[in-house]
Amino acid sequence: MARKECIAMLLAGGQGSRLMDLTSKIAKPAVSFGGKYRIIDFTLSNCANSGIETVGILTQYRPYQLHEYVGSGRAWDLNITGSGVSILPPYATQEGGAWYEGTADAVTHNLDYIKSHHPEYVLILSGDALYRMDYREMLKTHKEHNADLTIGVMPVPWEDASRFGILTADENGQVTKFSEKPAHPDSNLASMGIYIFSYDFLVNALEEDAINQRSSHDFGNDIIPKALADGKRLFVHAHHGFWKDVGTIASYHETSMDLLGEDPLFDLFDEKTPIMSNDSSRPPHYIGPDGRVDDSLVANGCRIMGTVRHSIISTDACVGERAIVEDSVLLPGAIVKNGAHVSRAILGENAVVEEGVKLGSVDTTKDTAVVGNDVVIGKGE
């Protein structure tokens, strides 16, 4: 195969257990987000918009809907013969087979895939955050420093720094220290879990890690600390813009709400870097004679007969007559029946809230209410 400058490996196999009911039957990257998208769309669109045309997608947990959704990669212009997207699940060999045991282990299992493309650089991504990024800029940083490894970082408020993997760098951006969730951070640069490796270094690091029995085979826990200890050239590339992990119910809800408003923190409408998705060809949505929609996103195929305020109504979701939906996210096909009242809730795909039922509370000190996919909430539940 022709040599490629940079290929991407997208880690999409995690369970996303902190999304609880939303990922009980579906992998996190395939969870619906923003009305018509799935979480993986944002990373795949970044790849497409950055001109990266080879993307290996590593899957493991409940993968079939994710596989079906990615398909040939056509939706992201990534159906390219000889490159494009490749789905990379765990596999068996003559020596047996094994699950992916950690982020680094997953990539190690697919070193043959990487080698077949002869890349100079390998971009490691995860499919669970909402952001726009031109990976070419990061690659430029990597090349300028002649780095072995460049880590995408995001300046976070100092008071939040203890929740992240924090990188300390010198004035040239060279990493001097990596601390996982430090109690007393000396830097506010949080790792975004985005890495660019020079090919030779990646192959060596993974092969060494694979035979280290004390390793948990994780990029953050094992590969980065070892590289630092070995005196490798690690640099940071700072991202200044919106970036949010959507890995918990609270962050999923908060990030969804960030899409709303006059001047949203994340603008889905930016035409220069479009968010591409595997569109479902559903008709325009219908707002009924007594429908009322205010400060919301409404996707195709919806039918809104009641009131929707400050909410995201995904493809084919329905809001019945006299029903009220506020500060909530309705995933595809969710139904709020006549007279029901849903506040600060996330309704899973095809979930149903029966007539007259009251769900959730506008009280922000309480947890966001979550209804799993296909679950029906009747009276008294």
Partner 1 sequence: MMNTKAIGYITANYAGNEPSKLLENRPVAALPFLGRYRLIDFPLSNMTNAGIHTVGLAMPGNWRSIADHVGHGGDFQLDRKIGGLYTFPGNPYGTTKRGMRFLLRDIISNRELFERSDAPYVVVMGANIIFNMDLNEVIDAHERSGVGITMLYVKAERKHSDASRLIIGDAGRVQKVEPGCEYGDNKFIDCFIINRDLLLDIIKHYANADYLDFFEAIAGDMARVDVCSYEYKGLAIGIFGERSYYERSMELLAPTVYDQLFQKDRPIRTKAHDAAPAKYYAGSNVANSFVSAGSKIHGTVRNSILSRNVIVESGANVTNSIIMYGCVIKRGARVENAIIDKNNVVPENTEYRGTPDAIMVIGKGTRL
Q: Using CB under 8 A as the criterion, which residues of the chain lie in contact with partner 1 when the complex forms?
A: 34-36, 74-75, 262, 268-269, 274-277, 279, 281-300, 303, 308, 312-314
Of 62 and 282, which CB lies nearer to partner 1 in the complex structure?
282
Min CB(330)–partner 1 separation in Å: 11
Of 187 and 315, which CB lies nearer to partner 1 in the complex structure?
315
Of 107 and 313, which CB lies nearer to partner 1 in the complex structure?
313
Min CB(291)–partner 1 separation in Å: 6
Of 292 and 322, which CB lies nearer to partner 1 in the complex structure?
292
CA atoms in the 13 A half-sphere facing the CB of 32: 27
Which residues are CB-contacts of 84 (< 8 A; sequence separation ≥ 6)? 53, 54, 55, 72, 73, 78
Min CB(287)–partner 1 separation in Å: 5
Min CB(79)–partner 1 separation in Å: 10
CB of 305 within 8 A of CB of 324?
no
Which residues are CB-contacts of 378 (< 8 A; sequence separation ≥ 6)? 354, 357
Q: 129-159 burial, b if ≥16 CB within 10 A, otherwise e?
A: bbbbbebeebbebbeebebbbbbbbbebeee
Min CB(327)–partner 1 separation in Å: 14
* 125 vs 10: CA distance, rounded Å: 5
Min CB(48)–partner 1 separation in Å: 10
* 160 vs 80: CA distance, rounded Å: 41
Of 76 and 178, which CB lies nearer to partner 1 in the complex structure?
76
Of 59 and 373, which CB lies nearer to partner 1 in the complex structure?
373
